[in-house]
A and B are shown apart, each in its own frame.
Chain A
Amino acid sequence: MTAQQIQIKLFARARELAESDLISVAVSEGITVASLRLAIAEQYPQLKPLSSQLLIAVDNAYAGEDQTLNEKQEVACFPPVSGG
Protein backbone atom coordinates (compact mmCIF):
# COMPACT_ATOMS: atom_id res chain seq x y z
CA MET A 1 0.00 0.00 0.00
CA THR A 2 1.28 3.42 -0.92
CA ALA A 3 1.50 6.17 1.64
CA GLN A 4 -0.40 9.41 1.38
CA GLN A 5 -0.68 12.64 3.30
CA ILE A 6 -4.12 13.67 4.54
CA GLN A 7 -4.58 17.36 5.37
CA ILE A 8 -6.86 17.90 8.36
CA LYS A 9 -8.48 21.18 9.36
CA LEU A 10 -8.58 21.78 13.11
CA PHE A 11 -10.94 23.95 15.13
CA ALA A 12 -11.36 25.40 18.63
CA ARG A 13 -9.32 23.63 21.33
CA ALA A 14 -7.92 21.13 18.83
CA ARG A 15 -6.48 24.03 16.80
CA GLU A 16 -5.01 25.62 19.92
CA LEU A 17 -3.44 22.39 21.20
CA ALA A 18 -1.82 21.68 17.82
CA GLU A 19 -0.90 25.38 17.40
CA SER A 20 -2.11 25.16 13.80
CA ASP A 21 -5.41 25.19 11.90
CA LEU A 22 -4.15 22.59 9.43
CA ILE A 23 -2.14 19.43 10.08
CA SER A 24 -0.85 16.77 7.72
CA VAL A 25 -1.02 13.11 8.71
CA ALA A 26 0.90 10.36 6.92
CA VAL A 27 -1.34 7.33 6.36
CA SER A 28 -1.62 4.34 4.04
CA GLU A 29 -4.03 4.51 1.11
CA GLY A 30 -7.64 3.59 1.78
CA ILE A 31 -7.37 4.30 5.50
CA THR A 32 -10.58 4.32 7.56
CA VAL A 33 -11.70 7.10 9.88
CA ALA A 34 -11.03 4.81 12.87
CA SER A 35 -7.43 4.29 11.72
CA LEU A 36 -7.02 7.99 11.01
CA ARG A 37 -7.84 8.66 14.69
CA LEU A 38 -4.95 6.41 15.72
CA ALA A 39 -2.61 8.11 13.24
CA ILE A 40 -3.57 11.54 14.56
CA ALA A 41 -2.95 10.43 18.16
CA GLU A 42 0.45 9.02 17.19
CA GLN A 43 1.65 11.91 15.04
CA TYR A 44 0.12 14.76 17.09
CA PRO A 45 0.44 13.73 20.77
CA GLN A 46 -0.39 17.30 21.81
CA LEU A 47 -4.05 16.50 20.87
CA LYS A 48 -4.14 13.75 23.50
CA PRO A 49 -6.19 15.78 26.05
CA LEU A 50 -9.10 15.61 23.57
CA SER A 51 -8.40 12.09 22.23
CA SER A 52 -11.67 10.12 22.48
CA GLN A 53 -13.80 13.28 22.22
CA LEU A 54 -12.48 14.28 18.82
CA LEU A 55 -15.02 14.25 15.98
CA ILE A 56 -14.07 13.67 12.36
CA ALA A 57 -15.90 15.26 9.44
CA VAL A 58 -15.43 14.41 5.78
CA ASP A 59 -16.66 16.74 3.04
CA ASN A 60 -18.72 18.80 5.50
CA ALA A 61 -20.56 15.86 7.13
CA TYR A 62 -19.88 13.75 10.23
CA ALA A 63 -17.94 10.65 9.21
CA GLY A 64 -18.65 7.05 10.20
CA GLU A 65 -15.75 5.08 11.72
CA ASP A 66 -15.68 2.60 8.78
CA GLN A 67 -15.63 5.29 6.10
CA THR A 68 -12.48 5.24 3.95
CA LEU A 69 -10.56 8.40 3.13
CA ASN A 70 -8.61 9.81 0.21
CA GLU A 71 -6.49 12.91 -0.36
CA LYS A 72 -9.18 14.67 -2.39
CA GLN A 73 -11.67 14.87 0.46
CA GLU A 74 -11.91 17.73 2.92
CA VAL A 75 -11.19 16.29 6.35
CA ALA A 76 -11.69 18.14 9.63
CA CYS A 77 -11.16 17.23 13.26
CA PHE A 78 -12.67 19.04 16.24
CA PRO A 79 -14.04 18.69 19.78
CA PRO A 80 -17.77 18.43 20.62
CA VAL A 81 -19.61 21.55 19.48
CA SER A 82 -20.88 24.34 21.76
CA GLY A 83 -22.56 26.95 19.58
CA GLY A 84 -25.83 28.72 20.19
Chain B
Amino acid sequence: MNPDFILITDKPIDYAAVTERVRSNECGAVVLFMGTVREMTAGRQTVALDYEAYPGMAQQMLQQLISEARAKWPVHAVAIEHRVGHLALGEISVAIAVSSPHRAQAFEAGRFLIDRLKEIVPIWKKENWSDGTSEWEHKEIKTN
Protein backbone atom coordinates (compact mmCIF):
# COMPACT_ATOMS: atom_id res chain seq x y z
CA MET B 1 0.00 0.00 0.00
CA ASN B 2 1.26 3.47 -0.86
CA PRO B 3 1.26 5.41 2.42
CA ASP B 4 1.65 8.80 0.70
CA PHE B 5 -1.12 11.40 0.75
CA ILE B 6 -1.64 14.45 -1.50
CA LEU B 7 -4.55 16.90 -1.29
CA ILE B 8 -5.35 20.25 -2.89
CA THR B 9 -8.17 21.69 -0.78
CA ASP B 10 -10.26 24.81 -0.26
CA LYS B 11 -10.79 23.86 3.41
CA PRO B 12 -8.52 24.93 6.30
CA ILE B 13 -5.56 22.57 6.74
CA ASP B 14 -5.58 20.43 9.89
CA TYR B 15 -1.81 20.18 10.40
CA ALA B 16 -2.14 17.71 13.29
CA ALA B 17 -4.09 15.35 10.99
CA VAL B 18 -1.47 15.79 8.23
CA THR B 19 1.26 14.89 10.74
CA GLU B 20 -0.64 11.85 12.08
CA ARG B 21 -0.84 10.42 8.54
CA VAL B 22 2.93 9.79 8.45
CA ARG B 23 3.59 8.56 12.01
CA SER B 24 4.83 4.99 12.29
CA ASN B 25 6.60 2.64 14.68
CA GLU B 26 9.23 2.17 11.95
CA CYS B 27 10.24 5.82 12.23
CA GLY B 28 12.25 7.76 14.76
CA ALA B 29 11.55 11.11 13.11
CA VAL B 30 8.63 13.15 11.81
CA VAL B 31 9.22 16.60 10.31
CA LEU B 32 6.34 18.98 9.57
CA PHE B 33 6.76 22.07 7.37
CA MET B 34 3.97 24.65 7.25
CA GLY B 35 3.72 27.71 5.05
CA THR B 36 1.60 30.48 6.60
CA VAL B 37 0.33 33.83 5.33
CA ARG B 38 2.85 36.56 6.27
CA GLU B 39 1.79 40.16 6.85
CA MET B 40 4.91 42.08 5.75
CA THR B 41 6.91 41.54 2.53
CA ALA B 42 9.73 43.98 1.73
CA GLY B 43 7.96 46.77 3.60
CA ARG B 44 4.54 46.14 2.02
CA GLN B 45 1.56 44.99 4.04
CA THR B 46 -0.52 41.99 2.96
CA VAL B 47 -4.16 41.73 4.04
CA ALA B 48 -4.93 38.37 2.39
CA LEU B 49 -3.69 35.91 -0.25
CA ASP B 50 -5.63 34.14 -2.97
CA TYR B 51 -4.28 30.77 -4.17
CA GLU B 52 -5.25 29.10 -7.41
CA ALA B 53 -4.19 25.61 -8.57
CA TYR B 54 -4.29 23.45 -11.67
CA PRO B 55 -5.42 20.51 -9.53
CA GLY B 56 -4.80 17.52 -11.82
CA MET B 57 -1.30 18.59 -12.78
CA ALA B 58 -0.48 19.74 -9.23
CA GLN B 59 -1.37 16.25 -8.00
CA GLN B 60 0.88 14.65 -10.65
CA MET B 61 3.81 16.99 -9.97
CA LEU B 62 3.58 16.40 -6.21
CA GLN B 63 3.56 12.64 -6.82
CA GLN B 64 6.67 13.07 -8.98
CA LEU B 65 8.42 15.06 -6.22
CA ILE B 66 7.59 12.39 -3.63
CA SER B 67 9.09 9.75 -5.97
CA GLU B 68 12.23 11.88 -6.32
CA ALA B 69 12.47 12.25 -2.53
CA ARG B 70 12.05 8.48 -2.12
CA ALA B 71 14.94 7.90 -4.56
CA LYS B 72 17.21 10.12 -2.44
CA TRP B 73 16.21 9.31 1.16
CA PRO B 74 14.69 6.33 3.04
CA VAL B 75 11.37 8.11 3.50
CA HIS B 76 8.63 6.10 5.19
CA ALA B 77 5.64 8.32 4.35
CA VAL B 78 4.83 11.78 3.00
CA ALA B 79 1.63 13.79 3.41
CA ILE B 80 1.15 17.08 1.54
CA GLU B 81 -1.85 19.40 1.67
CA HIS B 82 -2.01 22.71 -0.22
CA ARG B 83 -4.83 25.17 0.32
CA VAL B 84 -6.52 27.15 -2.48
CA GLY B 85 -8.92 30.10 -2.28
CA HIS B 86 -8.88 33.16 -0.04
CA LEU B 87 -6.54 33.00 2.98
CA ALA B 88 -6.34 35.48 5.86
CA LEU B 89 -3.13 36.46 7.67
CA GLY B 90 -1.63 33.59 9.65
CA GLU B 91 -3.61 30.87 7.88
CA ILE B 92 -1.81 27.74 6.65
CA SER B 93 -1.26 27.63 2.89
CA VAL B 94 0.71 24.38 2.78
CA ALA B 95 1.64 21.53 5.13
CA ILE B 96 4.23 18.85 4.35
CA ALA B 97 4.86 15.99 6.79
CA VAL B 98 7.68 13.47 6.27
CA SER B 99 8.61 10.47 8.37
CA SER B 100 11.83 8.47 8.23
CA PRO B 101 13.92 6.23 10.47
CA HIS B 102 16.30 9.07 11.42
CA ARG B 103 15.92 12.85 11.68
CA ALA B 104 18.48 14.02 9.10
CA GLN B 105 16.63 12.21 6.30
CA ALA B 106 13.26 13.66 7.33
CA PHE B 107 14.64 17.22 7.50
CA GLU B 108 16.40 16.91 4.13
CA ALA B 109 13.44 15.33 2.36
CA GLY B 110 11.04 17.93 3.79
CA ARG B 111 13.29 20.77 2.65
CA PHE B 112 13.58 19.24 -0.82
CA LEU B 113 9.80 18.83 -1.11
CA ILE B 114 8.88 22.42 -0.21
CA ASP B 115 11.72 23.91 -2.31
CA ARG B 116 10.72 21.90 -5.41
CA LEU B 117 7.00 22.48 -4.80
CA LYS B 118 7.66 26.22 -5.08
CA GLU B 119 9.54 25.68 -8.36
CA ILE B 120 7.37 23.31 -10.37
CA VAL B 121 3.92 22.63 -8.87
CA PRO B 122 1.24 24.62 -10.76
CA ILE B 123 -0.19 26.73 -7.95
CA TRP B 124 -0.25 30.55 -7.94
CA LYS B 125 -0.48 33.17 -5.23
CA LYS B 126 -2.09 36.58 -5.54
CA GLU B 127 -1.14 39.27 -3.04
CA ASN B 128 -3.88 41.56 -1.76
CA TRP B 129 -2.02 44.60 -0.42
CA SER B 130 -3.23 46.98 2.29
CA ASP B 131 -3.37 49.84 -0.26
CA GLY B 132 -6.23 48.03 -2.05
CA THR B 133 -4.16 46.79 -5.01
CA SER B 134 -3.56 43.13 -5.84
CA GLU B 135 -1.03 41.29 -7.98
CA TRP B 136 -0.11 37.76 -8.97
CA GLU B 137 3.33 36.60 -7.89
CA HIS B 138 5.10 34.98 -10.83
CA LYS B 139 8.59 33.70 -10.21
CA GLU B 140 11.00 32.32 -12.77
CA ILE B 141 10.88 28.56 -13.12
CA LYS B 142 13.17 25.54 -13.42
CA THR B 143 11.30 22.57 -14.83
CA ASN B 144 14.01 19.90 -14.74
Q: Hey, which bits of chain A sit against chain B, CB under 8 A?
A: 9, 11-13, 15-16, 50, 53, 55, 57, 60-62, 74, 76, 78-84
Contacts and interface: CB of A to CB of B under 8 A. Distances in A.
Contacts, number: 84
B56 interface: yes
Given A9-B54, A57-B54, A62-B143, A81 B123 contact: yes
Contacts of A15: 52
Contacts of B137: 82
Nearest to B94: A84
Interface string B52-71: 11101111110000000000
Interface of A is mostly: mixed
Q: What 5 A-B pairs come out closest when comparing CB atoms?
A: A83-B123, A12-B124, A82-B137, A84-B118, A60-B57
* Most A-side CB within 10 Å, residue of B35, B82, B122: B122
B118 A81 contact: yes
Contacts of B58: 83
Interface string B35-61: 100000000000000011110111111
